[in-house]
A = this chain, B = another copy of it.
């Protein structure tokens, strides 16, 4: 069994009126001048942004606002945030939004005290020694960034999407009010649940496979999501099920369902190039890739795919034919994706097949110019990555 570290220091305040505590929490964690970072118009429309600013005013916490973070958040916005923080002497960054906003907030937090280019961290050229404290008011359960050490930023210069992980950026607190997710459109709800389940699946499909308790917890989370998502797609204001999804988003990425560094992460890496190139929703991109990844790799450990099929997807176990059971699990996952409106391949994701040139570009970026492999469940070389992209593109059916 592999050794692990577990570190999830974020104080979670979960419930209907949790925002009310924002000023108290900012001050508790040392904030005296706050950047309120947010995305598009929904935070404004919903009244959440105004409420947060009012609460900070009432708590005598000076703040400036910076909105406009887009999905697949951009480095240019990060640099704008860094300059703004330096100009105003900001010492605390409060992200109001989903994973993109929180990821952008983390990048700003690294950048403010750093003399060089913040992209150095994402490009692997430097390690952040310090950062401003970050906190989150979550509005989209999906990325798990509200408790995680990870952030992913897209550098428009070359459309390069890279992640950087450092424990120092784990949010100090996360305010989670499920009511704030009532207005999420169905596609975003479904993509969020896909991302949540995938954070667990990336950990679950690992080559070590002997952390019984963690596997059982992971299965519990995935089974629960399978049920809850239909409840909220039917009734968007179902508080109880919205709450399960919101909390699952945090547990799926705070390492309770498995240690991040022991996981596979190939599907995430393969998807990053899809959303980097086509600017699609990350969760939808994951659904478009996973079935092809799964069919390409399942023979590495058939019994793990059987366990997934039986324990997560309620597939009947054909004890005489484990391979058939494993494949039925992958089919069941595709049926689930379709049932919640997610794609299961690239044409369904972008409305056409990817061109040969686009596939070559994604392979090149995902393998960092053919220099690195991806994945741990099965180590994927550039030729493997290309095969998976082509399977997902409907060009080849499987790896046999």
Contacts and interface: CB of A to CB of B under 8 A. Distances in A.
Interface of A: 1-9, 11-18, 210-214, 216-217, 219-221, 223-224, 227-228, 239-241, 243-244, 247-248, 251, 256
B216 A221 contact: yes
A160 B7 CA distance: 35
A221 B213 contact: yes
Contacts of A216: 220-221, 223-224
A1 B244 CA distance: 10
A14 B7 contact: no
Nearest to A12: B6
Contact of A219 (B2, B4, B17, B220): B220
A210 B241 CA distance: 9
A240 B210 contact: yes
A224 B8 CA distance: 23
Contact of A11 (B5, B12, B16, B210): B5
The listed residue with most B CB atoms (<10 A of its CB), out of A16, A219, A240, A247, is: A247
Given A3-B14, A211-B244, A213-B248, 10 more contacts: A4-B12, A5-B11, A7-B11, A8-B9, A210-B240, A211-B243, A212-B241, A213-B228, A213-B251, A217-B221
Nearest to A228: B212
Contacts of A228: 212-213
